[in-house]
Every structure is written in C-alpha cells, then in structure tokens.
Chains A and B, each alone.
Chain A
Amino acid sequence: MKTLMKSITLILVLISFRSFAQNSDPKFLQATKTGLELIATAKGAEDYLKAENHFERIATIATKEWLPSYYAAYCNLYAGYMTADKELKDQYWDKALLEIDKADALSANNSEIYALKGALQFMKMSVDPRTRMYLMGESAASLEKAAVLNPENPRIDLIKGQDIFYTPEAFGGGKAKAKSILESAVAKFTIFKPSNTINPNWGAEAAKALLAQCK
C-alpha cells in the first residue's frame, strides 16, 4: 500500500510537472485568458499598457513560458500605435523589442515571435525613416525568417500588407501593392487554427478591415 501510494504520488507529481510545461497550469492559463480579455476590450493606449503590465506580471512567475513576453510585446506595439508622442512610441517599442527577444530566448525558431519582431522593427523605422532606413532590412529579414518557419502563419502577410499599405507609393508602398498580400492574409486566416486557446490568434479582423480599404 505504501509503495502504491508513493508511486501514485510520484506519478501525480510527474503529471503536474509535465502539464505545467504544456502550459495547462490552471493558474497560468486563467491569468493568460484574463490578459487576452484585457486586450480584446482595450480601446486606447492606457488599456494596452494595463494589459501589458498584466502579462509582465505573468512573465515574472511563468518564467519558462514564451507567451507572456510575446503578449507584453504585442501590447506595447499597440500602445505605441495609439500614442502620438514619437518619443513614447520609441520607448514602448524599445521595450517591446526587449520582450520579444526574451520570448525568442524561451522559444527558439518560433514563427509568431519573428512575425511580431518584424512588425516592431518596421514601426521603429517609421518613427524616423530618414535615419532608420536600415531597420527596413532588419524587419524584412525577421518576416522572411517567420515565413520560413511557418509559411501558413497568416500574421506575416497581415504585417507585410499593413507595412506596404501605410508606405507612400513613391517609396514602394501603396494600397494597390498591399491588396494582393492582404488577400493572401485573409485567405490564410480562414484556414488558420491555433494549437490551443491561448496561442496567438489575432489579426483576422484587422486584415479584413485593411483589405476593405484597398477596394
């Protein structure tokens, strides 16, 4: 009986360890879901910063998970979008780049991480294109790597499409050029299924909305 109890305990312990690594630790899962709700209901920069703080807190506890840092970076990306002050934009995006590198250290060769990194590098460039032209190449390299890792990741085309959409025609951008890429993004979003409920699954609406403006 005693040995049986011991082995059951051992099994239980082992299962709990394994499940933690598969991010089904209920507390982590719940906290991440709460964070995703904060993102879903976010309206302005402040809401995104609130969600970012939330994910930062998760990241300090769930030190083996890449998602908290990934979402913290995502929140900073959006907080930057919604801020007019260029200096603040820069600060949010610098922080986001540190967070995305942290995520990369925890989950190497992850297409989602490189896609978000590409978006951040592009936005950093957009703050001061004249002096940061070199970031264009870095952004393209990140997005290319993301596509090699998972060509079906719809967020890559969304980010590329978005970048081209907002780049003036004279500099190789424009709505006409963005259209086919956004169409490809929308098509990929219809097939895309995240492997679990908390993995990245954002962007389908944004892709549709941008594509609508291309017509």
Chain B
Amino acid sequence: MQTFKLSLLFIFSFTLAKAQTKISGVLKTTKGIAVANANISLKNSYDGASTDSTGRFAFTTTTTGAATLIYSALNFEKDSVQVNLDHGNLTLNLGIKEALNQLQTVSISAGSFIAGDGKKGAILSSLDIATIAGSRADIFAALQTLPGAQTSFSESGLFVRGGSASETKTYFDGMLVKSPFNATVPDQASRGRLSAFLFKGTSFSAGGYSAQYGQALSSALVLESTDLPEKTTTGISILSVGGGVDQNIRFKNSAITIGGYYYNLSPIYSLIKQQQDYVKAPESMGGNFQYKLKTSPTGMFKIYASYGRTNLSLYSANIDTPAVPKYFSNNNFNIYLNSTYKEYFGNSWKLETGIAYNKDKDAGLLTVNDYSRQDHLLEGKAIVTKSFGQLSNFKFGAETFNTGRLESLNGPARTYNDQISSGFAETDLFLTQKIVVRLGLRGEYSSYLQKYNLAPRSSLSFKTSAHAQVSFAYGRFYQNPEDEYLIIKPTDFEHADHYILKYEINTPNRNFRIEGYYKDYNRLTKIKDGNPDNSGSGYAKGFELFWRDKKSIKNADYWLSYSFLDTKRDFRDFPMMATPSFAAKHTVSVVYKHFIESLNTQFGGTYTFASGRPYVNPNNPVYLADKTQNFNSLSLNVSYLTHVLKQFSVLYLNINNVPGFNQVYGYKYSANGSNRQAIVPAAKRDFLIGILITIGDNTFVR
C-alpha cells in the first residue's frame, strides 16, 4: 500500500514539475502572404492557437518530447511539422500551400451553357429561364437570349451557330424528344411543348458535347426534370389565352402530379389583329401525368406522360393569285411518354436507364389537298458510370431508337422506318484539380441507311486562376438527314466537326465568357430534281461573348450576349454555297430583371438585335445575296407577387415588341418574281396576361 501511495505522490509531483513550452511563430503562404485564422495544433493534445491577421500565433503546452505540429486553414492544404519540445521555447516559420476548393475545381465547359438549381457551373437558374421577358416561360425562346443561338420567329426551333433547327436535339432526362414543338402555323415559330417548370436543370450545348448524345449536328439541349415536389399543392393558371390546373400529391417517398390545360386563342385574336385570317384560331387541350418514386436514398424512378391536341385553320395571302387566299388547316395530336430509373451501387457505380415514346400526328387541308404526317420514336437507353479518384469517372452505355415517318397526300402514302443503335464510352479524367480531359467515342448503326459511323469526342479544360479557366473541345457529330428527305430514299449520315476554344471567368455574382469556334460540315443533304444525296457541305465560324452581373445594381440582375457568325453552306435546294436565311451575322441580346421589394414586383426587359438576314430574290442572279433590314425587339414583363383568397399568387403581364419595331424576317416572291411579300410576326405587338395561384403552400415556390 505504501508503494502505491508513493507512486501516486511521484506521479503528482511529476505532473507539477512538467515544463511549459511556448510555441510561437508565423504562418505564410508559399508566396509569403500571411495566413489569418489558421488552426495550429499539437497532435493528440488540446493545445493550440489560431493565427491573427498577420499570420502570427503563440501558445504554451505541457507536452514534452517529440510531437507533431499540425496547421490547417480554409482553402489551404493541411500540413504538419515534427517538433521537439524538450529544448525550450520554439519559434517557427511555417509555410502552407493553397488548395483549390470545390468551386475552384476545373470543369468541362467548352460549348455548354448550364442553367440549373444547385448545379456546379450553372450560370442561370430554372427560375431565370422562366422569367425572361418576351419568352413567356418557353424554354426555347429563353435560350435565344444566350450566345450561340439565333433569334427566330418564323420557324420553330433553335438555330445554333449556323446550324438549321433540325441540327438541335432536345433530350428529356437523357432521352431524345422527337417532336418538342407545338403544332406550327406556316411562317410562325411555335412554343415548346414541355413546360419550363418541369425542369430543375437545363444544359444548352452549342457544340462539343458528350458522346452520350447522338443524332445532333449542332446542339444538344439537355433537360433534367425535377425530383419529388416538396408538398401537396394545387396550381391554377388563368391566362388571357386559356388556363390550366396541376395537382401535386406528395406521399412519403413518392409523388403524383396530374395536370390539364385548355387554350383558345380566338378571344385574344379578336383583340390583336393577326397577319393571317383565321377561320379557327388555335385551340388546344391536353393533360399530363407524372409519377416519381424514391426507390432508395439514392434511387429514383420517374414517369412522365402527356397527351395534347391542337386544331386550327386559316387563310393566308396568296402572292401569285391574291384573289384566292391559301387555305391551311391542321389537327395535331401528340403523345409523349418518358420513364427513367437511376440508382447508385456501392460508392462508385451508377446506373441510368430509360425508355421513351413519342408520337406526333398532323393532318389537315393544304389549299385543296389532304395531307397527313405521323412521326414516331421509341427509345431505350442504359448508361453505367464508374467514379474513381476524387472527381474522375468512366461511363459507357447503349441506346436504340426506332424512328420513322408515315405521310400521305390525297390518299397515296409513303413511309420509312429506321432502327438506329448506338454505343458509347467516355471518361472524364481529372489529371489534377486544375486539368480535366474528356475522351469519348460514339458508334452508331442505322438499319435504314445500312451504314455505320464512329464519332470521336474530346474536351480539355485548364484552370488558369481561382476563377478563370480555358477550355478546348474537338468532336465529330453525325446525324441522319431530315425525315422529309429520308422518306424519299435512304442516303448517308451528315456530319460536322467542331473546334471550340473558350475562356471564362466565373465568380458567384459575375460571369464573363468568350468562345470562338469553327465548324466544318460535310455530307449535308442536297436535293436535285426531287432526288436527295449527300453532296452538300458548309462551314460556320464565329465568336461569342457573354456577361452576367448580379451585383452592380442592387436587386437587379442582367446579362448580355453577343454572337458573331460567319457561315456558308450548300445544302437542300441551294444552287451554290451561300449564307442561309436563318443566319444573322451579329446577334445581341440584353436581359434585365429588377425586383422592387416594396412593390412585391419584378420588372423585366429583353432587348434583341440581329443584323439583316439573307433572303432569296429571284431577280438577283446571285443566290441569297439580298438582306433584310436589321431586327429589333424590346419585350417587357411584370410579375406581381400577391395573395388571392389567401393563396400565393403571381399576377403576370408580358408585352412583346413594346415600341412596335417593324420586324421583317424575309420575303416571299411570286412565281414570276414581280411581287413580293414580307414575312413578318403574326402581330406587331402581342401581350399575355395571367395569374398563377398556388394552393397549399405558404411560400413562393415557382
């Protein structure tokens, strides 16, 4: 017992006798800049200190012998040094290396423009897309304010970097959408069918996109649908052109959404004079159904199904025989089905599968001729992704489309059917946090063309500073000729090579990017005496600027895009190389949004300028040598947030072309070339007024 007491005493006295060592010093970066608020600590002890604004620190410790001094700071790499505490006080000069944080990691970005909520590299949010003045919540109209896209109002679609509308493909959760646009009136662009509110992410790629996407020569528009809605809510929209109701029902791990709409443009057309003489103003109705199930913490199963119908008929001016206006009627019917399943396995494997079906049918009368056209697409797809290292991944997948068209004119019908099967593999390799390389390969086989293609894709990005990066991309892109040529006879794939160079600076509040590109088109479809072949070719080159600023003006946000385009092609029925009518040399758009809190109101404005576009003048021996006047447009919108019957509501007004600029898209000539008629918007000015009410939610969600 005595020994026990003694040893206790010994231990106590030893503790008391422990020497205190003072450790002090300074922490600097490798460049000699003091690091403040760094954490200095001794391993396995509570002792330590923080550095002050000059990088200095000091603390005392009772630890003795050899020890490890650890130092760490936000945005720096944790480091340590061995010290010996038996030789009195220590003064240390420490150096620490800068680390890149996640925001500063390089990303693959050549050619692409990402909008999305919580997405890395996103420049716009899904709400930004929905609230652009003039776009009226149409995704395609909104994207026309971004660099690379042309403004269009006489043809549906996105015209990207000298490409025709058919060169841009739309993907819904990775699945190709064959008919993304509503029924079309001659010489007028129509809205996209898919509501901007369906999606949480939009990636608009003007070139150089992933090997995952095929059958697009110029551009891929990748839409990613939202996950489970937060709550059970009812959304009601009442617009000057009709209305809709959506019911969201939220269960614990799943949700159902059922929606329907009815639009009839005849009341508004009686107020706003239209170019065409409508017999029946467009009337459309439709419904959609969504089911989303969270199958596990990381798994998600989704179904989206929609059905829509549109009827319209009109007389338009007949330039050859003014006394007999042209009659046109259209009954459109569309079904779309998309079902996807995504799940992670282990820590590093991810599986994505999907199946989609699209059927679009148009029928009506063209002057005196009965026409009908039916397009279909059935697609199945599976992708496996393996992540490795911290950021890198390798993915491979396969997809197959069954697609085709059936058309008839006054009885006789013709059809074609194609099974396009493809496989791809791609890797995103982060050599360091500053350098990333993407290498991909895609192969396709078309049963109708009986031809193969093999497309290499590559991309390289390099971080030049904390906020800036340089990217380069090269890729080859293949696409089947358009349905209207394929139905005549099978020819061959068209292809384009893209070369892209981009520099960008991104901070949380400001974005600047400049991108230059060169596109080489080959084997474009030409038609001579009704006989298509692949003898066409072309090029497009140009550069684009983008600037967005959310900081300089309080409560305001604006962006500015400029596109310069130099393109010529020999395709379709062109007799020679020429700049196509959808290509303007200069395009500028400015989007401005201002929220005034005291009024609970957001004001928005969009100004668009496009230099004159070429048109065919049969009196000019040079093909497509005449140009229209410059295009100007200024649209305004106002959104007032309020309550209707205690439910959150948004009162919305949009006016297109407020100053009433004279807008000419091109000219149509009579057969003898002596008369011409301008192709102009359906109405000089246009407005939309509406109210959106959300029942069951006390916060503003849309």
A residues adjacent to B (C-beta < 8 A): 1, 5, 27, 31, 46, 49-50, 53-54, 56-58, 60-61, 86-87, 90-92, 94-95, 127-128, 130-137, 140, 168-172
Decide if A170 touches B600 in the complex (CB within 8 Å). yes
Q: Which of A60, A61, A95, A131 contacts B118 (CB 8 A)?
A: A131
Once the chains are docked, how many angstroms separate the CA of A58 from the CA of B39? 12
Number of A-B contacts (CB under 8 A): 90
A18 shortest CB reach to chain B, Å:
21
CB interface residues, B 400-440, toward A, < 8 Å: none
Check if B14 is an interface residue, CB within 8 A of chain A: no
Once the chains are docked, how many angstroms separate the CA of A133 from the CA of B48? 40
Once the chains are docked, how many angstroms separate the CA of A132 from the CA of B75? 23
For A90, the chain B residues whose CB sits under 8 A away are: 103, 508
For B641, the chain A residues whose CB sits under 8 A away are: 170-171
Once the chains are docked, how many angstroms separate the CA of A207 from the CA of B594? 33
Decide if A53 touches B600 in the complex (CB within 8 Å). no
Decide if A86 touches B117 in the complex (CB within 8 Å). no
B contacts with A: majority SS: loop
Known contacts A49-B50, A56-B39, A169-B600; is-contact A61 B44 (Cβ 8 Å) = yes
A167 shortest CB reach to chain B, Å:
8
Decide if A171 touches B37 in the complex (CB within 8 Å). no
Q: Which residue of B lies closest to A177 (CB)?
A: B698
Decide if B48 touches A53 in the complex (CB within 8 Å). yes
Decide if A60 touches B698 in the complex (CB within 8 Å). no
Q: Using a Cβ–Cβ cut-off of 8 Å, how many residues does chain B contribute to the interface with A? A: 45
B391 shortest CB reach to chain A, Å:
16
Q: Which residue of A lies closest to B41 (CB)?
A: A57
Known contacts A95-B74, A133-B117; is-contact A50 B37 (Cβ 8 Å) = yes
Known contacts A50-B50, A132-B117, A140-B230; is-contact A170 B597 (Cβ 8 Å) = yes
For B125, the chain A residues whose CB sits under 8 A away are: 130-131, 133
Q: Give 4 new A-B contacts, CB below 8 A, not counting A86-B508, A168-B597, A172-B648.
A: A53-B49, A61-B46, A91-B101, A132-B117
For B47, the chain A residues whose CB sits under 8 A away are: 57
Known contacts A60-B41, A133-B117; is-contact A172 B698 (Cβ 8 Å) = yes
Decide if B117 touches A131 in the complex (CB within 8 Å). yes
Check if B345 is an interface residue, CB within 8 A of chain A: no
Decide if A130 touches B128 in the complex (CB within 8 Å). yes
B2 shortest CB reach to chain A, Å:
12
Q: Which residue of B lies closest to A30 (CB)?
A: B46
Check if B258 is an interface residue, CB within 8 A of chain A: no
Decide if A133 touches B4 in the complex (CB within 8 Å). no
Decide if B127 touches A5 in the complex (CB within 8 Å). no
Decide if B127 touches A130 in the complex (CB within 8 Å). yes
Q: Which residue of B lies closest to A133 (CB)?
A: B117
Once the chains are docked, how many angstroms separate the CA of A134 from the CA of B118? 8
For A31, the chain B residues whose CB sits under 8 A away are: 46
Q: Which residue of A lies closest to B697 (CB)?
A: A172
Known contacts A131-B125, A133-B127; is-contact A5 B46 (Cβ 8 Å) = no
Q: Which residue of A lies closest to B57 (CB)?
A: A53
Q: Which residue of A lies closest to B47 (CB)?
A: A57
A119 shortest CB reach to chain B, Å:
17
For B642, the chain A residues whose CB sits under 8 A away are: 170
Once the chains are docked, how many angstroms separate the CA of A132 from the CA of B698? 18
A27 shortest CB reach to chain B, Å:
6
- 12 A-B residue pairings within 8 Å (CB atoms): A49-B50, A56-B41, A86-B508, A90-B103, A94-B102, A127-B508, A131-B127, A134-B117, A137-B230, A140-B230, A171-B699, A172-B700
Decide if A86 touches B200 in the complex (CB within 8 Å). no
For B557, the chain A residues whose CB sits under 8 A away are: 130
Once the chains are docked, how many angstroms separate the CA of A1 from the CA of B2? 13
Check if B45 is an interface residue, CB within 8 A of chain A: yes
Decide if B699 touches A49 in the complex (CB within 8 Å). no
Decide if B75 touches A91 in the complex (CB within 8 Å). yes
Decide if A87 touches B508 in the complex (CB within 8 Å). yes
For A56, the chain B residues whose CB sits under 8 A away are: 39, 41
Decide if B509 touches A49 in the complex (CB within 8 Å). no
| Nearest 6 pairs of A and B residues by beta carbon | A170-B600, A53-B39, A172-B699, A131-B125, A170-B641, A137-B230
CB interface residues, B 18-68, toward A, < 8 Å: 36-39, 41, 43-50, 53
For B4, the chain A residues whose CB sits under 8 A away are: 5
Once the chains are docked, how many angstroms separate the CA of A56 from the CA of B45? 12
For A132, the chain B residues whose CB sits under 8 A away are: 117-118
Once the chains are docked, how many angstroms separate the CA of A60 from the CA of B597? 46
Once the chains are docked, how many angstroms separate the CA of A16 from the CA of B666? 89
For A58, the chain B residues whose CB sits under 8 A away are: 46
Of the listed residues A58, A92, A130, the one surrounded by the most CB atoms of chain B closer than 10 A to its CB is A130
For B36, the chain A residues whose CB sits under 8 A away are: 46
Decide if B127 touches A86 in the complex (CB within 8 Å). no
Check if B507 is an interface residue, CB within 8 A of chain A: yes
Check if B319 is an interface residue, CB within 8 A of chain A: no
B598 shortest CB reach to chain A, Å:
10
Check if B384 is an interface residue, CB within 8 A of chain A: no
Known contacts A57-B48, A95-B74, A140-B230; is-contact A171 B39 (Cβ 8 Å) = no
Q: Which residue of B lies closest to A140 (CB)?
A: B230
Once the chains are docked, how many angstroms separate the CA of A86 from the CA of B551? 11
Decide if B701 touches A133 in the complex (CB within 8 Å). yes
Once the chains are docked, how many angstroms separate the CA of A134 from the CA of B119? 11
* Per-residue interface assignment for chain B, residues 612 to 623, with 1 indicating a CB less than 8 Å from any chain A CB and 0 otherwise: 000000000000
Once the chains are docked, how many angstroms separate the CA of A131 from the CA of B508? 11
